[in-house]
Amino acid sequence: HENDPDVQAFVNFLGTDEAKAVYAKHGLR
């Protein structure tokens, strides 16, 4: 499953500043 393009795109998104902002908004990080 890790090689699925959608999974890769999601993993890449998780590393972005946008994702970190979402985490902060929801108090996850």
* Verdict on whether the full-model pTM lies above 0.85: no
pLDDT for the residue numbered 27: 85
pLDDT for the residue numbered 1: 61
Q: Which of 2, 23, 5 is nearest to 14 (CA)?
A: 23
> What proportion of the chain, given as a percentage, has pLDDT over 90?
7
N residues, the chain: 29
Q: Which residues of the chain have pLDDT under 70?
A: 1-2, 29
d(Cα 15, Cα 17) in Å, to the nearest integer? 7
- Count of Cβ atoms closer than 10 Å to residue 4 Cβ: 9
Residues 6+ apart with CB under 8 A from 13: 19
pLDDT for the residue numbered 4: 87
Domain boundaries, the chain: 1-29
**By the 8 A CB rule, do 1 and 11 touch?**
no
pLDDT for the residue numbered 17: 92
